[in-house]
Structure 1
Amino acid sequence: MTEYLIYAFIYLIAAVIAVPLAQRFGLGSVLGYLIAGIVIGPMVGLVGEETTTIQHFAEFGVVIMLFLVGLELEPKSLWAMRHRLIGLGGLQIGLTALAFTGLGMLFHLPWSLALAIGLILAMSSTAIVLQTFNEKGLGKTEGGKNAFSVLLFQDIAVIPMLALLPLLALPELIEQAQAATAAAADHHEELSLVAGLPGWAYGLVITASIAFVVIGGHYLSRPLFRFVANSGLREIFTATALMLVLGVAILMSLVGLSPALGTFLAGVVLANSEFRHELESNIDPFKGLLLGLFFITVGAGINFDILFDEFFTVIGLTLGVIALKAFVLYGLAFIFRIRNSNRWLFTLSLAQAGEFGFVLISFTVQNHVLPTGLAQILSLVVALSMMLTPGLFILFDKVILPRFEQSSNEREADQIDEQGTVIIAGIGRFGQIVNRLLIANGVKTVVLDHQSSIVDTMRRINTQAYFGDATRPDLLHTAGIEQAAMVVIAMDNPESSINLVKYIKHSYPKVKVLVRAYDRGHMYRLRQAGADIIEAETYHSALEIGGAALRELGYPPRLAQQQKLAYKRVTEELSASLYAAWLGESGGGERFDNNYLKLFLQFEERIKEEMAFERSNHENEGKP
């Protein structure tokens, strides 16, 4: 017992140290887990033979992840993405497998062996890619959506792969396995419901199992979850959710199918369930922990002896796999018209081998398709390619994406042929509302924005806008700032907005400057720069939501309105004192010193007192 507790402590402390450091340096959590595994495994030797056993357990994290992915997809959503799912995903697996098969045969490998390797390397890492998409917010981009379609098809394609790979068994490996089995009579076979069945019976069992998951998930899960939810015990609901996932995974394993695919199918079936969100919130922590453990075991399981003995072979194969997959993916992105930076996101995010590669490698060894030595080298290639994936995302973020953003803005600034009463710098969400309100009241505006894509979008909806950097004095001159009454600054970059305020108030002091602020520190710096009117971008909407919350909680509408007005009145009264304290202590810097914070806390108490006073007045007004 103590031994297992020690191992658990080692894995946890490695994750606690490595992952936050990797996040701080912009490497992502997945690379942090992999580095933690390498440190406690091959480098220091704190963990050893138990790593393989733990990895089998940790693979359940992938199973849970695909269940949660399924919960996010309604069947109609799958049907809507059928073209990308089958077309893009099918071509990716087919062309990649054919490319690796042809390359293997070129190096005189048997066609069956080359095909098995091609199928293994055609897979990409669902766990790494989806987790990185979530961390970086890339899932909603065009490249992210297409990558998800390919990953989804790959997960589905595991079924025919598991059916096909045993047919590729090498006769010499079968003979060796038979001899080894005879010498080890105490070997325990895996539990199976389909072992020894004829083909027609095997097909019936598989069909019945899938039908049970679909029909049972639709008709039996709802009464079960309703019964458990009525108990009011959250831990029992969590246990039920885990029981469902485990049960489906076990059933799929017993009939020789992928547990991950079975749980994904169960998730899709439950996507319309009223208990979907409760299932997600209860299972998600287990997914994160087990996925992290899985990546640690991948790092800890790297055999550095083979890596050092076959260093150039392994590194060359790893880089070759990434390059060949990237070549195929880039071609598909071109064919399917995935444009600009999304094309590179799609290409680089899927260029690695995947965690299912470990499952398929183990399966091929068990079914005498791959020799053990070659399987170990392939495992290294898969692991190393997965470790390089965060680097590919860094390449996309730091090198490729800035170039596309720069190229999109490299065109010459538009020739401004009109002047207006108001110049609006920035036509994003904030600037659009200001512009529409002014135009609707007959006010002539000139809109400038430095992002060409936003300008083009505005023109498509018949909103006049000019491409150009509003901080350039020559553009402000042609826009008529000398005759303008005011400038509204709604730019995304806080520093640029501060610099623009300084320039306008210095060069054109009579022009009113209205500007939006991101936070309190930005507001103070804008005020210091000389802005005439400053509005926090979330202040009024937050105030309205707060008032609506009070009404929903049972406050009379009149009292809720009074509380809103009291809050606004107090903050306006105290804003000058807070600004003076900030200016006096920080000298106009971004830091909030202790005295400022003390004053801020005193003002918070003042607001509470005002709120209590308003409530008391309201109660007294209701008394006879």
Structure 2
Amino acid sequence: MHTPEGFAELLLLLLIAVGAAVVFMRLRLPAVLGYLAVGIAAGPTALGVVHDVETIRSLAELGVVLLLFTIGLEFSLPDLARMRGALLGLGGGEVGLAGAAAFGAALFLDVVVPGTPAIGFAGALVIAGVVAMSSTALVTKQLTDQVELGAPHGRAALGILLFQDLAVVPFLVVISGLAAPGEAGIGIDLLLALGKGVVAVVVILLVGRFILHRALSQVAALYSGELLTLSALTVALGAAWWTAFLGLSPALGAFVAGMMLGESPFRHTMEAEIRPFRDVLLALFFVSIGMLLDLTVLPEGWPWILLLFAALVAFKLVLILILGLVARMPLATALRTALVLAHGGEFGFALLSLGLSQELLPPAYGQVVLAALLLSMAVAPLALRFNGPITAWLLRSRRPAEAPAASPAELTSTDSDCVLLVGFGRVGQHIARLLEDAGYPWRAVDMDPVRVENARAAGAPVAHGDGSRLDVLRAAGATDARAVAFTLDDPAAVVNAVESLRNERPDLPILVRARDDAHLQELQHAGATEVIPETLEAGLMVGSHVLLLLGEPAEAVTDRIRAVRMGRYELLRALFPGAANVDPEALELRAVEVPGDAHVVGVAIDELDLGARAVRVTSLKRDGERLEPPPAETRIRGGDVLMISGTGPDLERAEAALVR
């Protein structure tokens, strides 16, 4: 079979990218830096590993499309309405002021630096658009990985980024119009682009509301992960194709489609299905960005590159900080927002590429700007990763009262104080009602589409998703929740989910409901904070009522129940076997009478060698009296009846040790 050359190049690029990502992550640096380095090294002006650059770029664009789709899933229309301050105020201010300052600076250079190629009005407009943009792909991916996208600075940054993405359309129209002015003029072209945008959004929203929601309900009812994956990809790529067909950004269509589904119960499931494709293609996106750099420019242009890089980062940092303070953000939030956005972006590369191809900007200037943008994007992952520590260090001399803090409204918006219920059946709904009565917010994921639809119709915050999968739990906000409660009936899947979740967040309270005690120890070893076996709890409740009916004081009954729970149900786990017992791993109780000549006579209970560490002495009967549990220093006498607990094979060995 013939293998296309492009396939071999793509495979080689992926292998190098994986190796670079491993090295950078071992050094505790963001993998994005490794991808950029691979792109620079593999580019046409370096090693020249890749010749089919266009194929790589096409795949990379799909990564941005899927990224914007998953971002849209996180923000429904009501969420966007609540963000209008950040979207219009901060976003409009950043794009307007940054663009105006860059435009003026470019024209000023034409005047003060004579004898160099003129930038001109059109070139200055290109530079204005480039400077105004930050990297949506870089910021949203890393803040999502760091669980900061829902934080105050994450939401503010996202609002600015969304406005920047929307502003790309008029920039593209104006720059294209300056290169080849249409008969109707730029103003008409802008109005036409705006009209196309409105049509695109309305069509996507209508199709989503009246067709997609019903279709996805039918797909979810089949419980097929494969169909959900295909559905998610079809929705994202279909919306991107629609806006591209109208001459708009494909990423815009993907974002609107995701936002439209953000109010549906399938948002977490679709995000989990899309994530693997998105992450692979985004890696290629950052590699393709690195390939744009022409290394032959560096020997002569490096002073200008460093100067432009420093000016770009410092200017955007100060501008966004001031805008945040004007918007009455806390100083720490404004500073963190500025840190995560003080760099260039992928849409800046698109505008720069268009300007160079239309000869609106001198090539020498274009490569200097490109190198400065790449340098800013290379530094950006570090600023993103350490935005919190950097802010704390810069504000270390301020009073604790002025340290970074979120308002109650901000905390509510991030859902970081919610309890996540994994499974919304009988037990999950009981827990939800108790939480509501106590005033604690909660949300849930469940695999039954009918149950999810009914719950959402009643206003309950329930989403569709397989709660045994870590990616679904992440999408549902498990790593940022106040506590997680598993009520699923699949013990093996829950054990894996608990173990993965515990590795993600060691301090997270995880409660697991189990049918019985068969998997109790396994769940505890996996990292469950509490395991509540239904059968044992039922026995406790019935037993407590019996004691109350017999006249036992309520306080004494409560103390007994509390003691059993504190002992992790050890008192109740071992049972006398019956004829139907078939589980060799189940804990059993066995009564053993010690002969008068047994070698254990005179030995203290805590010194007994029962042949198995898992066997315990739970009670001792002597002279008609029962000690439960017997004191550890109690010495065995002939005729004592010991009650021992353990599994069948262990009990056989222990009994043999006691009677010999």
- TM-score band w.r.t. shorter chain: 0.5 to 0.7
Structure 1 residue 326, shift from structure 2 partner? 1.7
- Asked if residue 364 in structure 1 is aligned to residue 374 in structure 2, the reply is no
Matches within 5 A, 1:392-407: 392-393=383-384, 396=387, 399-405=390-396, 407=398
The corresponding residue for 1:3 is: 5
Structure 1 residue 29, shift from structure 2 partner? 2.0
- Asked if residue 546 in structure 1 is aligned to residue 534 in structure 2, the reply is no
The corresponding residue for 2:315 is: 324
CA contact (8 A) 1:90 1:153 kept: yes
Distance 1:220 1:35, change over 3 A: same
- Rounded to whole Å, the distance in 2 between the matches of 1:12 and 1:604 is 50
The corresponding residue for 1:94 is: 96
Structure 1 residue 280, shift from structure 2 partner? 0.8
- Asked if residue 163 in structure 1 is aligned to residue 173 in structure 2, the reply is yes
- Residue 266 of structure 1: which of 257, 260, 271 is its match? 257
Structure 1 residue 381, shift from structure 2 partner? 2.5
- Residue 57 of structure 1: which of 48, 56, 59 is its match? 59
Distance 1:79 1:565, change over 3 A: same
Deviation per residue, 1:334-368 (Å, 9 max, x gap):
32233343332122211101011122223334555
The corresponding residue for 1:123 is: 133
CA contact (8 A) 1:68 1:267 kept: yes
Structure 1 residue 387, shift from structure 2 partner? 0.8
Distance 1:557 1:346, change over 3 A: same
- Rounded to whole Å, the distance in 1 between the matches of 2:151 and 2:60 is 30
- Rounded to whole Å, the distance in 1 between the matches of 2:614 and 2:376 is 53
Deviation per residue, 1:5-53 (Å, 9 max, x gap):
4323322222222223322323212112212333444796262332343
Structure 1 residue 134, shift from structure 2 partner? 2.6
Structure 1 residue 238, shift from structure 2 partner? 1.1
The corresponding residue for 1:478 is: none
- Asked if residue 25 in structure 1 is aligned to residue 35 in structure 2, the reply is no
Matches within 5 A, 1:608-619: none
- Asked if residue 256 in structure 1 is aligned to residue 247 in structure 2, the reply is yes
**Partner SS, residue 220 of structure 1:** helix
The corresponding residue for 1:292 is: 283
Distance 1:233 1:409, change over 3 A: closer
- Residue 69 of structure 2: which of 38, 42, 67 is its match? 67
- Residue 280 of structure 1: which of 271, 277, 298 is its match? 271
Read off the aligned partner of 2:148 and give its amino acid letter.
L
Distance 1:603 1:332, change over 3 A: farther
- Report 1 or 2 for greater relative contact order, CA contacts < 8 Å, sequence distance ≥ 6: 1
TM-score of the superposition, structure 1-length normalised?
0.61
The corresponding residue for 1:514 is: none
* Structure 1 alignment gaps of length 5 or more: 175-196, 412-428, 430-517, 523-537, 571-601, 617-624
- Residue 18 of structure 2: which of 16, 33, 56 is its match? 16
- Rounded to whole Å, the distance in 2 between the matches of 1:604 and 1:128 is 52
**Partner SS, residue 23 of structure 1:** helix
Distance 1:300 1:277, change over 3 A: same
- Rounded to whole Å, the distance in 1 between the matches of 2:189 and 2:395 is 57
Structure 1 residue 63, shift from structure 2 partner? 1.2
**Partner SS, residue 337 of structure 1:** coil
Structure 1 residue 559, shift from structure 2 partner? 7.5
Distance 1:36 1:610, change over 3 A: farther
Which structure has more helix as a fraction of its residues? 1
CA contact (8 A) 2:200 2:253 kept: no
- Rounded to whole Å, the distance in 2 between the matches of 1:203 and 1:130 is 26
Deviation per residue, 1:564-590 (Å, 9 max, x gap):
6764649xxxxxxxxxxxxxxxxxxxx
- Rounded to whole Å, the distance in 2 between the matches of 1:606 and 1:15 is 55
Matches within 5 A, 1:522-537: none
- Rounded to whole Å, the distance in 2 between the matches of 1:138 and 1:259 is 26
- Rounded to whole Å, the distance in 2 between the matches of 1:603 and 1:148 is 56
CA contact (8 A) 1:42 1:304 kept: no
Structure 1 residue 406, shift from structure 2 partner? 6.0
- Residue 557 of structure 1: which of 535, 538, 549 is its match? 538
CA contact (8 A) 1:61 1:294 kept: yes
The corresponding residue for 1:310 is: 301
- Rounded to whole Å, the distance in 1 between the matches of 2:615 and 2:277 is 41
**Partner SS, residue 49 of structure 2:** coil
Structure 1 residue 405, shift from structure 2 partner? 4.6
The corresponding residue for 2:640 is: none
- Rounded to whole Å, the distance in 2 between the matches of 1:603 and 1:372 is 77
- Rounded to whole Å, the distance in 1 between the matches of 2:155 and 2:53 is 34
The corresponding residue for 1:379 is: 370
- Asked if residue 139 in structure 1 is aligned to residue 162 in structure 2, the reply is no
Distance 1:373 1:141, change over 3 A: same
Distance 1:203 1:78, change over 3 A: closer
The corresponding residue for 2:36 is: 34
- Asked if residue 154 in structure 1 is aligned to residue 164 in structure 2, the reply is yes
Matches within 5 A, 1:430-441: none
Distance 1:280 1:368, change over 3 A: same
The corresponding residue for 1:349 is: 340
- Rounded to whole Å, the distance in 2 between the matches of 1:198 and 1:157 is 14
Read off the aligned partner of 2:145 and give its amino acid letter.
E
How many residues align structurally? 433
Read off the aligned partner of 2:167 and give its amino acid letter.
A
Distance 1:273 1:51, change over 3 A: same
The corresponding residue for 2:463 is: none
- Asked if residue 223 in structure 1 is aligned to residue 214 in structure 2, the reply is yes
Distance 1:116 1:40, change over 3 A: closer
CA contact (8 A) 2:175 2:355 kept: yes
Distance 1:287 1:603, change over 3 A: farther
Deviation per residue, 1:104-144 (Å, 9 max, x gap):
01011322321221112200011111222233343344323
CA contact (8 A) 1:73 1:268 kept: yes
- Rounded to whole Å, the distance in 1 between the matches of 2:232 and 2:79 is 23
- Rounded to whole Å, the distance in 1 between the matches of 2:202 and 2:348 is 27
**Partner SS, residue 172 of structure 2:** helix
Distance 1:317 1:205, change over 3 A: closer
Structure 1 residue 277, shift from structure 2 partner? 1.7
Identify which range, 31-40 or 143-152, moves more after superposition. 31-40
Structure 1 residue 230, shift from structure 2 partner? 4.0
Distance 1:376 1:611, change over 3 A: farther
CA contact (8 A) 1:10 1:46 kept: no
Structure 1 residue 67, shift from structure 2 partner? 0.9
The corresponding residue for 1:82 is: 84
Distance 1:345 1:410, change over 3 A: closer
Structure 1 residue 263, shift from structure 2 partner? 1.0
- Asked if residue 247 in structure 1 is aligned to residue 238 in structure 2, the reply is yes
Distance 1:610 1:42, change over 3 A: farther
Structure 1 residue 375, shift from structure 2 partner? 3.5
CA contact (8 A) 1:144 1:346 kept: yes
**What is the Cα-based RMSD across aligned positions, in Å?**
3.9
Read off the aligned partner of 2:50 and give its amino acid letter.
G
**Partner SS, residue 546 of structure 1:** strand
